[in-house]
Structure 1
Amino acid sequence: MAEKKPRIFQDSRDMIISLVVCFAVILLAVSFTGLCSFNPRQTIESGPVRPVDAETILGMEAKAMPFPVRLPDTPDGWVANAARRTNVDGDSAPIVGWVTANKAYLQFLQTRATVDAVVDDFDDVLREEVDPVVVGEVTWRRFVPVDQPVKDTIYGYSSDEVTWIVTGTAGREEFSLLAQNIAAATPIEVAHPAADTPAVTTPAPAP
């Protein structure tokens, strides 16, 4: 009778078969738990949006920014799901994002960087500037992706104080609505402790 070979010298086919069997057993067990799912077409419609306190976060950012920070009103059904500080062209910039009632998303970024700098730094997608959009008294430059319609469109406006950037996948009507509310928003008031504290005077010494 031939001597049995050590397992290290056995055909790797045995190991592959064992792994396949183990994987099948694990997959079957997990499927019964209902804790695993796969849906390549899953979107934000598949679950609730987790809101964030954009008002509090933008209020704190307003104290740190060298320009007026705004938080625009939004329609019913829009949910703020992101608010944070990012960096654009070497400067800090607050950004807030919403999931709209139509399950698209829009983001509003405020910065001292130019519109062109923001567009160049946004991502690796090629965009072209198309006809501007006039909303109220503000003319927004508009940049659309080239050959990639699912990517973000960018609206940009610069004043002497600040640059406003609106990005997202929403339709033009929702872009215009947010742009209008941004222009109408009042800058967040920042308390200045020195102005709120009564001046302390030292009595003159008695003669």
Structure 2
Amino acid sequence: MSTQPVPAPKPAKSRLLQDGRDMFWSIGPLIVACIVLAGVLGMCSFQGTGPAEGPVPTYDAPGALQADAEALKIPIRLPKLPQGWQANSGSRNGIDGGRTDPASGERLRAVSSTVGYLAPSGMYLSLTQSNADEDKLVGSMEADLYPTGVEDVDGVTWVVYSGGDRDGRPGEPLWTTRLNGPTGAAQVAITGAGTTEEFRTLAAATQSAAPLPTK
């Protein structure tokens, strides 16, 4: 009885000889996964762009300024502003070598408290209260400013600074004065994109307020 020889199995196809269909089925799932991932990342990026929507952020200026007065140990005033003004931000900062000790002449670290306000027009102004010397406070807020005049607000003289450079455009003006009180003096500065009348409103509300009491 004769037997038929069993054919030898075909050798595996060399990877070098794989045709386009083999390569497609090998990397196809990877391509699909990359497309899906790119779409997800694209949606995340898109959702994070554009101007913020919704109401203007609110800020507890009375609470924040009281806390600053307690923590910084400098005279802090809470301006009583007309209806339509809204506090929307605040911060504390330090200025190395920002003040001169009157007894020793030594340069010491100064501190400051800032609250940002939106005027009824929608323009932003900030009020900074500090124990820094005038030049050091101004320099810490905006570079290359120089005094260009004064404004009299109900008998208080505010020095007006101008200049600066923001992307080739003149910087915002800055008004500053030194307010004395029973607990000492404070250098106060106002800056922002508001009108002269809005500067005067914030200046008057600040200088007419008494320093907040501290424990």
TM-score when normalising by structure 1: 0.69
Cα distance in 1 for residues equivalent to 2:48 and 2:68: 39
Q: Which runs of 5+ in 1 are unaligned?
A: 6-13, 192-207
Aligned length: 174
Following superposition, the deviation at residue 83 of structure 1 comes to 2.8
Aligned structure 1 segments of 4 or more residues deviating by more than 6 angstroms: none
**Number of the residue aligned with 1:36:** 47
Conserved? CA contact 2:129–2:186, under 8 Å: yes
Higher strand share: 2
Cα distance in 1 for residues equivalent to 2:116 and 2:85: 10
**Number of the residue aligned with 1:166:** 190
Cα distance in 2 for residues equivalent to 1:63 and 1:25: 51
**Number of the residue aligned with 1:186:** 210
Conserved? CA contact 2:164–2:171, under 8 Å: no
Q: Which runs of 5+ in 2 are unaligned?
A: 1-12, 18-26, 99-108
Following superposition, the deviation at residue 121 of structure 1 comes to 1.9
- After TM superposition, the structure 1 = structure 2 runs for residues 90-169 of structure 1, keeping only pairs within 5 Å, are 90-123=109-142, 125-148=143-166, 149=169, 151-159=171-179, 161-169=185-193
Percent identity for Structure 1 against Structure 2: 25
Following superposition, the deviation at residue 75 of structure 1 comes to 2.2
2:83 to 73, 76, 87: 76
Cα distance in 2 for residues equivalent to 1:98 and 1:133: 21
**Which protein is bigger by CA-based radius of gyration?**
2
Label 1:120 to 1:48 Cα distance change in 2 as closer, same or farther (>3 A): same
Following superposition, the deviation at residue 61 of structure 1 comes to 2.0
Following superposition, the deviation at residue 135 of structure 1 comes to 0.9
Q: State the secondary structure of the residue aligned to 2:47.
A: coil
Q: What is the RMSD of the two structures over their aligned residues, measured on CA atoms?
A: 3.3
Label 1:26 to 1:136 Cα distance change in 2 as closer, same or farther (>3 A): same
